[in-house]
Structure 1
Amino acid sequence: MDLTFSGERQVRQFPCQCCESTVDRTWSRLNRDGVARAVFYASCYHHAEGGEVYFDIVIGTWDTEDLSDHVTFGCRWGAIEGHDQPMCSLTTGGEVLGDNPLFGTKLDRPAALQSPLLPEFWDMVDFLLLNDPVVAPFVNGHRARLR
């Protein structure tokens, strides 16, 4: 699967509600094999006790008015108790993004684990962790601090 960024990238900053640190949120489209396949939102939290990234990825058919096949997955990258390296764990997709029909079905962890699109979601998360110009430096900076 060949993933690429598509369309205009958006980036904005806002204060974290829990600690007033900065949050960098970026979003754009992802193409798979040259076809629009997803929209992602990645929110990088600069918490004093350690950074974390929340991903919300809407997978479906784009460039049409029919949103019926859209599903939103979510995960969190960051420290996990009992592990010496940050990891990703499933969360409810699009939980903080409102009720726009764009998000389709927002999957919680049990539903995400049953979805046939889960491997595609993880491929997209891996792609963003390695290639997104906001996420990749954030993640690499926090990994370096853990060593």
Structure 2
Amino acid sequence: MRLRIDPDRDIQTGTCDCCQTPFERITGFINNDDGAYAIYYASCYHHDGIHEAWIDVIIDDAWHPDEPVSRPSPNRVTFGCRVGPVEGRLAPACSLVAGAEVAPDTPFYGRKLTRDEALTHPWISDYWETIDHILENDTTVKQHLYGTAAKGEA
């Protein structure tokens, strides 16, 4: 599956409620060869000087170009992960968490998967492929976590 981040990402800044440090939240669409594929929210924090990102990905097997994205199919789900330092690892690592845990409970997110539900979901490998793509190709997330971003990336 060939993924592409839509270049019209939205980047918002805010202040973390728990520690009052600034953060950036990226909202982006991901397309594959068939068109619309997923929506992602990546929140980049500096908690206690630690660079971490919380990434939620909404996957739906029936995005319809003539309907608003807020109208989910019955199969829509939201996965979540934290990317950041993990004990015993030199590079940031991904840890599966509940999807969109702090987002409101609206139909837009479909079924927000718990960690256990996500581990057994048939789309888990698609989710990890999407996370890999975001970490490699979203310059804001990449710069935040790894301190580098190549020119010309989304």
Deviations 1:8-60 (A, max 9, x none): 32110111122211110001111111410110000000223311000000000
Q: Are 2:98 and 1:88 aligned?
A: no
1:145 aligns with none
2:151 aligns with none
Mapping of residues 46-125 of structure 1, within 5 Å: 46-60=46-60, 61-63=62-64, 64=67, 65-125=71-131
- Give the alignment's TM-score, normalised by structure 1: 0.89
Aligned mates of 2:123, 2:58 — CA distance in 1: 11
Structure 1 portions without partners, runs of 5+? 143-147
Conservation of the 8 A alpha-carbon contact between 2:72 and 2:107 = no
2:29 aligns with 29
Shift in Å, 1:89: 0.4
Shift in Å, 1:119: 0.4
**Number of paired residues?**
142
2:44 aligns with 44
Shift in Å, 1:68: 1.4
Aligned mates of 1:23, 1:14 — CA distance in 2: 5
Deviations 1:98-143 (A, max 9, x none): 112110011111100000100000011000101012111111129x
Stretch of structure 1 that moved more, 15-24 or 3-12: 3-12
2:152 aligns with none
Deviations 1:52-95 (A, max 9, x none): 00000000022244431110000000111233332000000011
Aligned mates of 2:72, 2:144 — CA distance in 1: 35
Structure 2 portions without partners, runs of 5+? 149-154
Partner amino acid, structure 1, of 2:35: V
Q: Once superposed, which parts of structure 1, at least 4 consecutive aligned residues long, lie more than 6 Å away?
A: none
SS at match of 2:99: coil
Conservation of the 8 A alpha-carbon contact between 1:55 and 1:76 = yes
Stretch of structure 1 that moved more, 12-21 or 107-116: 12-21
- Give the alignment's TM-score, normalised by structure 2: 0.85
Aligned mates of 1:34, 1:137 — CA distance in 2: 29
Aligned mates of 2:53, 2:111 — CA distance in 1: 22
